[in-house]
Amino acid sequence: MKDDSQILVRVRNLKKYFPIQEGWLINRQVGAVKAVDDVSFDIRKGETLGVVGESGCGKSTTGRAILHLDPPTAGEVLIDGKDLSRMTTVERRKFRPRAQMIFQDSYASLNPRHSVGSIIAEPMVIHTDMAPDKMRQRVMDLLEMVGLNPNHYQRFPHEFSGGQRQRINIARALSLNPKFVVCDEPISALDVSIQAQVINLFEDLQKDLGLTYLFIAHDLSMVQHISDRVAIMYLGKIMELTSRENLFENPLHPYTRSLISAVPIPDPIKERQRTRILLKDEVPSPADPPRGCVFSTRCPQVESICTRTAPPWKEIHSDHFASCHFV
């Protein structure tokens, strides 16, 4: 990153460990689940950084740690130049409107006893002193912005479809005019046709409002569509980070190549001609990650150095980073 003025989110050596405790009367820590282990990246203003990986690789935990919904174990996170870890509770609460999160489960993240209007208005009630009539108009404007009928603000979440509930979540996240939004697999529970609609909505809102996204997903084709740059995660670490064009045209890391080889191609001739890269064994436990490179137990190109020494995180080409001994 050459121009620091264009960086909205800076993450350095981020770690999130969950302690493993045993004992009945006296709990003592006997280990730790390394959900996120030494992750670093930047997100420029107005761009979308996609984070892709298998289930359990630490994608969602990374997003939650960045926003301090789960306070990180170590590392530094700067959002718009502000370090949330050094803020008091009052200061962090005042900062919350600038960074919001859209959760994966569109139903569980909405209070079933509250109407849609009160759900979207709740952040404004907490963080602003807006008059009730202006707040109601703001809610109706937000519903219209995300493609819902403004007159439905008195309905309850169960009266909406999954795609509509996700739009309600988006409206709530935008109610305080944030600069940065973490999208935690916001389309994974939706039908394919609805996914396209929600992705188009995200893109339209980014153009209109100048939003910056951290878009978490496990669908590479969807991430390719919406992201400017893509980070590939495996077992709590980032394996590769570059632009979406570089990632699909010139993947450097063996894990990235294996993921891309699994993406279906709509051309049946090309689909039959290409070679799938099948990984052996299962993903190791984050409570006991492999020594050296975390991908060494499944890598088709593994050498002895991979099992002994962790590869450095280095810039291979301009703005193309990877963590591998042989790239």
> Hey, what's the torsion of the CAs at 5, 11, 13, 15, to 10 degrees?
170
Neighbouring C-beta atoms of residue 153, cutoff 10 Å: 21
Domain 4-227 -> CATH class: alpha beta
- So where are the chain's domains? 4-227, 253-327
Nearest of 57, 56, 83, 81 to residue 72 by alpha carbon? 83
Structure tokens at 318: 């301009």
- Per-residue confidence (pLDDT) for residue 3, from 0 to 100: 61
User: Is the distance from CB of 259 to CB of 220 less than 8 angstroms?
Assistant: yes
- Per-residue confidence (pLDDT) for residue 1, from 0 to 100: 45
- Per-residue confidence (pLDDT) for residue 193, from 0 to 100: 82
How far apart CA 113 and CA 155 sit, in angstroms, is 10
How far apart CA 172 and CA 142 sit, in angstroms, is 8
Name the pTM for this structure.
0.91
User: Is the distance from CB of 303 to CB of 295 less than 8 angstroms?
Assistant: no
Q: Is 171 helix (H, G, I), strand (E, B) or coil?
A: helix
How far apart CA 216 and CA 188 sit, in angstroms, is 10
**Intervals of the chain under pLDDT 50:** 1
Neighbouring C-beta atoms of residue 178, cutoff 10 Å: 19
Taking the mean position of all CA atoms in its chain, how far away is CA 3? 23
